[in-house]
Every structure is written in structure tokens, then in C-alpha cells.
Amino acid sequence: MADWEHLDPAFDLPEHIREPWRTLFEHLVAKVRAETQHLPLNTLVQLQIERNLTLYVKIKERESIRTGQPGAYPADQTIALDDNKFWLALTNALNDQVFKMKAADKQAVKNEVMGQIKPVLAEFIKRLPSDHRERLRRELVDLLDRAGI
């Protein structure tokens, strides 16, 4: 459901990031797009995904450079820990958004199915003998309620 094409330019890494990190980024982008294709991702969530993946690749690239070399994390590791904490905060925020969408999708499907089932059940109940109708209707409503439907 998400339209990613119009945001392709946002999913370009800065030129200074080289292989194998560029390939990793492309694989991650493709994987995330495939995993979320069924979700109604708005533009802000798509941009959150871009920031998350870009930051992850930058952290991995920087971690791969030996301490003391240009672009490496300092030996102190405080900056590395801060970058990882920031990435985890972004990931948590993104997960919260995606789980909300999955729950909303699940509820939408349930509502659609129940919209089709309710008239059939109502017609069935109408056809029951009158002396059993109310009791069976209550039991059906109770069972549906217990099932969370």
C-alpha cells in the first residue's frame, strides 16, 4: 500500500559512504520495503525508515574503521554508545508506528469481515423458532464477544 517511488531520492546515501555499506543499505531498503508493502505507510513514517537505515549504515561503517584512523569512533566509545542509543530510540519510535498500523489493519479487516457476517447471522436468527431465538441470539453475541469479534 505504501508508495515508495516518489521518495527514492531520499534513499540515497552520501557519496562518501563506500562499499560494502552502500550495498548493505540497498539490501536493507529493499527488505524493509518488501516487509512493509502491505502497510499504509505515510510519508513521515517512510522518512523515519530512511533515517533509521541511513544512521544504521553510518554506525556500521564507522565501527568498521580501526580506532585512531580517520572516521573511526574514538577509543573512549562514548560517541559510539550515544550513536547506538540514538539509533535504538529511532528504531523504537518506528516500531511503535508500525505496530499501530498493523493493529489498525487487523481491526479494519475484522470490521470488514463482520460487516459481511452480521447480516447473514441476523437473517439466520430471524429464521429460528421464536421460542429459541432470543436465547440463541444472546449466546451468539456472548461467544462473539469472548472471541473479540
Q: What pLDDT is stored for residue 60 in this prediction?
A: 97
> pTM above 0.85?
no
Position 52 pLDDT exceeds 90: yes
**Residue-number span of the structural domain to which 51 is assigned:** 5-146
Nearest to 149 by CA among 123, 127, 116: 116
* 149 close to 114: Cβ distance less than 8 angstroms: yes
Contacts for 2-9: CB closer than 8 Å, 24+ residues apart: 2/33, 2/36, 2/37, 2/39, 2/40, 2/41, 2/46, 4/33, 4/46, 7/43, 7/46, 7/47, 7/50
> What is the average per-residue pLDDT within 114-138?
80
Mean pLDDT of the chain: 86
Position 105 pLDDT exceeds 70: no
Count of structural domains, the chain: 1
Distance CA 72, CA 54 (A): 17
- Give the helix/strand (H/E) hosting 78: helix 78-127
- pLDDT band per the 50, 70, 90 thresholds, residue 84: very high
Q: What is the pLDDT of residues 20-51, one digit of tens each?
A: 999 999 999 999 999 888 887 888 889 999 99
Question: Which residue in this structure is represented by grid cell 546515501?
Answer: 13
